[in-house]
């Protein structure tokens, strides 16, 4: 425990000093660059980096490679897809995997400390195995929960977004201008995804490729069908207003069906807490006095 406390205090001190001196290091680096006038060597550039860029970054990459080997069918692309589906578009998959490997390493060190301090080997082994399993299972479980909640928010917002797209297109705007109007008027996870589509189209990507990327990024049947219908309408010359109106009606119908499905599942989900928590209390209140009277009769 003493070793673990010392390591945690050292890490906290390091990150605190790193944050306090970040501004001064940046100013010093800018002054050295100004003095060099183009003669900025590779060694100076490397020394101008912060400690986190020179040490923590490579260490994170090594830990990420360890996590990739320990994870079945693990890959950076798969991790990046999971983070994107959960709405963590700015998260680095290497940092995510390195965090998992680092937490697993801390659990192994903690198990060794327990073993050295005289704890039973079974306790140390159980703590190590449980900590390593938690390091690799809980982050993915958290991402799956975030992904599920985000998909529900996307489905709930999709009919309103499609309605605004339909009104904008029927008013005479092009598809790009209609998407820009949606990004200007609305907020939410689906609007953020449309902002990405609009940005991709503005930097030179074709509309078809940007919409296909939207379908692949969200990995939902509804968004995939929407992307395909817009691409086909664009290729075949079909009116976008009619396609968008049909898509909006279909999304509202699906949302209504999903709500009805949840309502039908509610009684079944209520059965377990009712049987465990409510029925025993009712039996105690109803049969309790009778049982007390019976016990008095037999004991008297």
State pLDDT tens for residues 231-249. Answer: 888 788 777 888 888 888 8
In Å, what is the CA distance from 17 to each residue of 3, 22, 204? 21, 8, 43
Poorest-confidence range of 68-77, 98-107, 175-184, 259-268? 68-77
What is the pLDDT confidence band of residue 1, given thresholds at 50, 70 and 90?
low
Confidence at residue 253, expressed as pLDDT on a 0 to 100 scale:
84
Of 164 and 42, the one with more pLDDT: 164
pLDDT of residue 28: 67
Say what percent of the chain tops pLDDT 70: 74
Q: Is 165 exposed, middle or buried (0-12, 13-18, 19+ CB in 10 A)?
A: buried
The whole-number pLDDT of residue 40 equals 46
Confidence of residue 216 (pLDDT cuts 50, 70, 90): confident
pLDDT exceeds cutoff 50 at 64: yes
Cα first-last separation, the chain: 61
**Residue 140: partners with Cβ closer than 8 Å, 6 or more residues away:** 82
Look at residues 235, 232, 220, 145 and name the one whose alpha carbon lies nearest to residue 190: 220
Asked if pLDDT for residue 62 goes beyond 70, the answer is: no
Asked whether 60 and 47 are in contact (CB, 8 A), the reply is no
Query: What pLDDT is stored for residue 67 in this prediction?
Result: 60
- Report how far apart, in Å, the C-alpha atoms of 12 and of each of 8, 19, 145 are: 6, 11, 30
pLDDT single digits (tens) 245-278: 888 888 888 888 888 888 888 888 888 888 888 8
151 contacts 193 by C-beta, under 8 angstroms: no
Q: What is the pLDDT of residues 19-45, one digit of tens each?
A: 556 556 666 666 666 555 444 454 555
Q: What share of the chain is helix, strand, coil (3-state, %, to 5)?
A: 85, 0, 15
| Mean predicted confidence (pLDDT) in 187-210 | 86
To the nearest whole number, what is the mean pLDDT of the chain?
76
123 pLDDT more than 50? yes
Threshold 0.75, pTM exceeds: no
Instruction: Report the alpha-carbon distance of residue 136 to residue 99 in Å, rounded.
Output: 10
Predicted pLDDT at 143: 85
Question: How far are the Cα atoms of 88, 183, 185, 224 from residue 188, in angstroms, in the given order?
Answer: 14, 9, 11, 19
Q: Decide which of 19 and 198 is more confident.
A: 198
Residue with tokens 């390195």: 98
pLDDT of residue 81: 79
**For the chain, what percent of residues have pLDDT higher than 90?**
0
Segment (H or E) for 139: helix 121-170
Residue 53, pLDDT above cutoff 70? no
Dihedral, 288, 290, 294, 295 alpha carbons, nearest 10: 20
With 80 as the cut, is the pLDDT of residue 197 above it?
Answer: yes
Cα–Cα distance, 48 to 32 (Å, whole number): 9
**Average confidence (pLDDT) over 135-142:** 83
């Amino acid at each position: 425990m003493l070793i673990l406390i010392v390591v945690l205090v050292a890490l906290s001190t390091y990150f605190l000093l790193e944050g306090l001196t970040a501004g001064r290091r940046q100013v010093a680096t800018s002054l050295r660059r100004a003095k060099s006038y183009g003669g900025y060597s590779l060694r100076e550039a490397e020394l101008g980096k912060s400690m986190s860029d020179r040490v923590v970054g490579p260490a994170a990459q090594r830990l990420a490679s360890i996590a990739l080997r320990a994870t079945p069918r693990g890959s950076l692309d798969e991790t990046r897809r999971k983070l994107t589906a959960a709405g963590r578009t700015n998260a680095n998959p290497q940092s995510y995997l390195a965090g998992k490997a680092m937490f697993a390493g801390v659990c192994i060190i903690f198990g060794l400390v327990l073993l050295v301090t005289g704890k039973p080997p079974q306790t140390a082994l159980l703590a190590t195995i449980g900590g390593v399993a938690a390091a690799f299972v809980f982050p993915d479980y958290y991402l799956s929960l975030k992904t599920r909640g985000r998909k529900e928010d996307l489905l709930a917002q999709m009919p309103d977004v499609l309605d605004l797209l339909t009104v904008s297109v029927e008013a005479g705007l092009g598809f790009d201008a209609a998407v820009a109007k949606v990004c200007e008027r609305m907020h939410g996870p689906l609007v953020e995804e449309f902002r990405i589509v609009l940005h991709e189209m503005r930097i030179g990507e074709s509309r078809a490729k940007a919409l296909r990327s939207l379908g692949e990024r969200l990995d939902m049947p509804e968004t995939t069908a929407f992307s395909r219908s817009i691409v086909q309408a664009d290729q075949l010359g079909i009116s976008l207003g009619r396609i968008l109106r049909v898509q909006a009606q279909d999304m509202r119908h699906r949302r209504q069906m999903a709500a009805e499905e949840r309502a039908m599942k509610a009684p079944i989900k209520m059965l377990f807490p009712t049987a465990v928590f409510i029925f025993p209390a009712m039996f105690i209140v109803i049969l309790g006095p009778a049982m007390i009277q019976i016990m008095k009769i037999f004991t008297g």
